[in-house]
Amino acid sequence: MFIDEVIITAKAGDGGNGCLAFRREKFVPRGGPSGGDGGCGGDVILVSTEHQNTLLHFRYNPEHTAERGRHGEGSNRTGRDGSPIELPVPVGTVVYNTETGDRLFDFTAPGQRFTVAHGGRGGRGNARFATATHQAPTEHEEGRPGEFFKLRLELKLLADVGLVGFPNVGKSTLISRLSAAKPKIADYPFTTLEPSLGVVDAGGRTFVLADIPGLIEGAHEGHGLGTQFLRHIERTRLLVHLVDVSDFSGRDPSHDFDVILDELASFGEGRLAEKPMIVAANKIDACQDTTRIDAVRAKAQERGLPFYAISAAVGTGLDELRYAIGAELFRQTDNATIAVGS
């Protein structure tokens, strides 16, 4: 099961109390204060890892509490610090504070660590309060409470290219032909209910392709699977807009093209619409009316977008599309390298 959003609580350990004690030893009539400090509470730490690809492990275990610090003891013995707990999260996880809505951290690489709740400081024992004029203090401190937060974890897939389009336009078939990914493929809408990733080889260079569930009109408002999966293409560097031009789809490919662009422009302050895009008219093997292909080609040309006519089912035009995607990605990389060098 693919889980990409969960609510968890993180409670750091409380600090241990400082001790109130005096030395009581034979031949030491005025031994003075000997109360030790309490130990600090343990932290709650999130750690990104490549061994997790979903947030499912938090669904049935949402509450996480670190160990508290031990209390101080006599003979100036300091209490042991509480052990921290480390919670693994997949790369691509974004951490939000549910109360304020603030974004706290974004895990973009494996091995990153972020302390979401700090343990409480241990209280001071009475030995800490001894002075030249106050040699028998009875003051001591209780440990400070550890931090408590309610957090929202949101997973956004890390992919170079995102496939977008209406349901049943052939996105899953395309990713299965371009990569080794094996998503569920069937001839009914919303066959894909969770995103899948595939690694594509384009002339010795590789890129990661993400297939997300199909979009429908009103997706940016949550219609269909809407905003639940639009977030997964926010990190991509390139979008491939797939349009069904077959004669038997019962849809107008030109209208579908406009609807998807409008949904991208309406989500996330329009950032998706600003991404580079390649348009691919799919299922040309089932299209006798070439005006349907020409209509999509004209729409793409109006916006200055590259256009390819393909058939993912029989393999027509897939090599050209594959290398066009690779060329655009590597062009972006080269430009970024030149910008950094200059």
Q: What is the pLDDT along the chain (342 residues), one digit of tens a residue?
A: 456 789 999 999 999 999 999 988 777 777 789 999 999 999 999 999 988 878 888 988 999 999 999 999 999 999 999 999 999 999 889 999 999 999 999 999 999 999 999 999 999 999 999 998 998 899 999 999 999 999 999 988 778 898 888 888 888 889 888 887 665 444 434 444 567 778 888 877 788 888 877 665 554 444 444 456 677 778 888 999 999 999 988 889 999 999 888 888 887 666 788 889 999 999 999 999 999 999 999 999 999 999 999 999 899 999 999 999 999 988 877 665 545 454
Using the 3D structure, point to which of 137, 155, 173 is the last residue of a domain: 155
Using the 3D structure, point to which of 123, 155, 187 is the last residue of a domain: 155
Amino acid at 326: G
**Paired tokens of 73:** 């003891």
pLDDT at res. 232: 74
CA gap 89, 160 in Å, rounded? 20
**Paired tokens of 161:** 């290219």
The predicted-structure confidence for 171-220, as pLDDT tens digits, reads as follows 888 988 888 766 544 443 444 456 777 888 887 778 888 887 766 555 44
Whether 21 and 146 map to the same domain: the answer is yes
pTM of whole model > 0.85? no
pLDDT at res. 181: 64
Query: Which uninterrupted H or E stretch holds 88?
Result: strand 85-90
pLDDT at res. 283: 93
Whether 90 and 133 map to the same domain: the answer is yes
Whether 287 and 150 map to the same domain: the answer is no
Domain containing residue 96: CATH number: 2.70.210.12
**Paired tokens of 231:** 């977030």
CA gap 319, 309 in Å, rounded? 11
Please state whether beta strands 148-155 and 44-49 pair in parallel, antiparallel, or not at all (unpaired).
unpaired
Amino acid at 84: P
Whether 206 and 259 map to the same domain: the answer is yes
Task: Quote the domain boundaries for residue 246.
Answer: 161-341
Where do the DSSP E strands lie in 212-341? 238-244, 277-282, 307-309
**Paired tokens of 95:** 């951490």
Whether 221 and 333 map to the same domain: the answer is yes
pLDDT at res. 282: 94
- Inter-residue contact 6 to 12 (CB < 8 Å): no
Residue found under tokens 């003051």? 139
Tell me how many domains the chain contains: 2
**Paired tokens of 157:** 């897939």
- Inter-residue contact 248 to 286 (CB < 8 Å): yes
Whether 169 and 122 map to the same domain: the answer is no
Whether 3 and 149 map to the same domain: the answer is yes
Please state whether beta strands 93-97 and 103-106 pair in parallel, antiparallel, or not at all (unpaired).
antiparallel
pLDDT at res. 298: 95
Whether 68 and 133 map to the same domain: the answer is yes
The predicted-structure confidence for 66-82, as pLDDT tens digits, reads as follows 999 999 999 999 999 99
Residue 24: CB partners within 8 Å, gap ≥ 6? 31
CA gap 279, 76 in Å, rounded? 73
CA gap 327, 304 in Å, rounded? 17
Domain containing residue 231: CATH number: 3.40.50.300
Whether 173 and 99 map to the same domain: the answer is no
Whether 69 and 202 map to the same domain: the answer is no
Whether 175 and 40 map to the same domain: the answer is no
pLDDT at res. 210: 84
**Paired tokens of 283:** 């299922």
pLDDT at res. 155: 86
- Inter-residue contact 243 to 279 (CB < 8 Å): yes
Whether 230 and 324 map to the same domain: the answer is yes
Residue 186: CB partners within 8 Å, gap ≥ 6? none
Amino acid at 62: P
Using the 3D structure, point to which of 91, 123, 155 is the last residue of a domain: 155
